[in-house]
């Protein structure tokens, strides 16, 4: 699965609260492959990576991770929470309810 999402980091590894200067929402082109969620700057960055380019991207391991609808987060719509095995936590905003469910199912059932 691939697509544009907005991401906010809430907790870093070991449930350490993400510092203020790193908490803002950012847009990424997100791809899921081999139990890793890759966050590219844009589709171009994704293509470069596929060709073995050394483009910088974030990667989140989703083995033993859990994605759930973020009902408690009311500032934005179509948001899910991703909690990882190493206790980091992210919010992801998708474009609509179908995309929201699709990302959640893809992450939880790969």
Give the footprint of ligand I3P on this chain (CB under 6 A). 8, 20-21, 23-25, 75
Give dist(CA 23, CA 109) in Å, integer.
Answer: 28
Contact criterion met (CB below 8 Å) for 100 and 80: yes
Supply the minimum distance, in Å, between the C-beta of residue 73 and ligand I3P: 7
Per DSSP, the residues of 41-90 read SSHHHHHHHHTT-----EEEE-TT-EEEE-TT--SSSSEEEEE-TTS-EE
Nearer to ligand I3P among residue 15 and residue 110 (C-beta): 15
Nearer to ligand I3P among residue 23 and residue 47 (C-beta): 23
Residues 6+ apart with CB under 8 A from 48: 55
Nearer to ligand I3P among residue 26 and residue 98 (C-beta): 26
**Residue written as token pair 């060709």:** 51
Supply the minimum distance, in Å, between the C-beta of residue 10 and ligand I3P: 7
Supply the minimum distance, in Å, between the C-beta of residue 34 and ligand I3P: 30
Supply the minimum distance, in Å, between the C-beta of residue 101 and ligand I3P: 22
Q: Which residue's Cβ lies closest to ligand I3P?
A: 24
């Amino acid at each position: 699965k691939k697509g544009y999402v907005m991401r906010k980091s809430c907790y870093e590894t070991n449930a350490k609260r993400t510092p203020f200067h790193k908490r803002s929402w950012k847009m990424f082109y997100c791809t899921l492959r081999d139990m890793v969620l890759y966050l590219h700057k844009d589709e171009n960055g994704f293509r470069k990576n596929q060709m073995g380019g050394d483009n910088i991207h974030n990667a989140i391991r989703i083995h033993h991770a859990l994605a759930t609808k973020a009902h408690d987060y009311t500032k934005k719509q179509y948001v899910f929470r991703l909690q990882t095995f190493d206790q980091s936590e992210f919010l992801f905003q998708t474009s609509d309810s179908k995309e929201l469910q699709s990302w959640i199912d893809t992450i939880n059932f790969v």
